[in-house]
Structure 1
C-alpha cells in the first residue's frame, strides 16, 4: 500500500507516536520504516491528499511531536512513496547525507521573520518630508500645475524611495538577526512583505534571538509590521 512520509529520524529517536494518527479521510496509525541507522515516519494512505486544513494540521502535529524529542528531517506536506521497499531503498541510498544533515540540524529550530509596510501613508509622509524633490513635486501638483508629467515623476520618485528604504531596512534587520542563527536563508518576499528571512537558531540562543527581534520591532519606526513564526521544523535547511 502507498505510504505518506512525514519525516526522517535517527533510529534511536523516541518516536512517541502511539496517540497520533496520520493524514487522510480515514487516518491510519503512524509507524516507521527502518533502514540501518535511519527511520522514516509514515502512515498508509489510499487516496490523493490535498492541502486541506485537517491534513495540514495532522502533518504539522506529527512533526512537532517528533521535533520535541530530537532532531528530525521534516518532509514538506504531500510526500508519497509507493511502498515500504521504496522508502527503505531511499534511506539506504542517502544514508550518509541524511545522517550529516541530522547532525547539522541537531539542537536547532527554524524561525521565520517577515516584515511589511503596515502604514503606507506614514511612509509617504516620511518621503515627502525627507526628500526636497518629492516635496516640491507634490506642492506643484497640489497648487494646480497642469503638467501631466508631474504626477508620473512623483510616482516614480516615491517608488524608488520606497524600494531603497525597504531594501536598507531589510538589510538592517537581517544584519541584526543573522548572528543568532547557525545558518540562514533569504526567500523572495511576496507582496506586501519586503523581507522573508529564515534562520536556524540553536536552542541555547533562542532567548537572545527573541530579545533581539523584539528590540528591532521597538526600534524601527514608520509603521513596519513584524511577523515572527517559530519554532518550526527546519524545512528551509534540509539539503
Structure 2
C-alpha cells in the first residue's frame, strides 16, 4: 500500500491538487474512505469540511502534506510551478516601463526644434502687425486730409471715397494680422507646453493599465502557494 501511496503522490505532481480538510472546530459528521491507508475500513470524523484548491490554473510542483496530517491555518499545503508567472511578471514590468517612458516624454514637452520653429512664426506675425499698423496710420491720416480737402471743395467726392476705402482696407488688414499673431502665439504656447491634454490623459491611462497588469501578475505569484484556510486534518488530496 505504501508503494500505491508513493505512486499516487507522483501523479499529483504536475497536475491540479484538491485538498479536503476537516476542521477541528465545528460540528457535523463526515464519512470518508481512504485508499491510502492500510486499514480500508470507513472512518468517521467530526468537523467542518473545507475544500482547498489552486486559485489559478497551473501545475503543482510540490505537495508538502500527506493524508491524515494535521495542519494549521495559513500552512502551505502545496506549491505551484511559478516559472510562467515569473515570465509574465517580467513582461508586465517591461510594459509598465514603456508606458511610463511614453508618459514622461509627453509631460516633458516638445523638442527644441519645434519650439524654435513656432517662435519664428510668431516673430513673422508680429512683424506683419507692425507693417499693418504703419499702413493703417498712413491710410487714416490720408483719409482725414481728404475729408478736409473735400470740405474745402479742393477734391471731388470720388477722391474722398477712395481714401476712405483705402483706410477701411488697411483697418481690415490690421485686424487680420492681429488674428494671425494670436493664432501663432497660441500654437507656440501649445508647443512649449508639450502634448495635448487628451494625449497626456491617454498616456496616463496606459500607465494605469500597465500597473494593473503588473499587480495582477504579483497577485498570481502570491497564489503559487496553496495554503490551508483553517486548522484541521487532511482527509483527501488528489
Q: TM-score range with shorter-chain normalisation?
A: under 0.3
Kindly indicate whether structure 1 or structure 2 has the higher relative contact order, using CA contacts under 8 Å at least 6 residues apart.
2
Choose 1 or 2 for highest CA Rg. 2
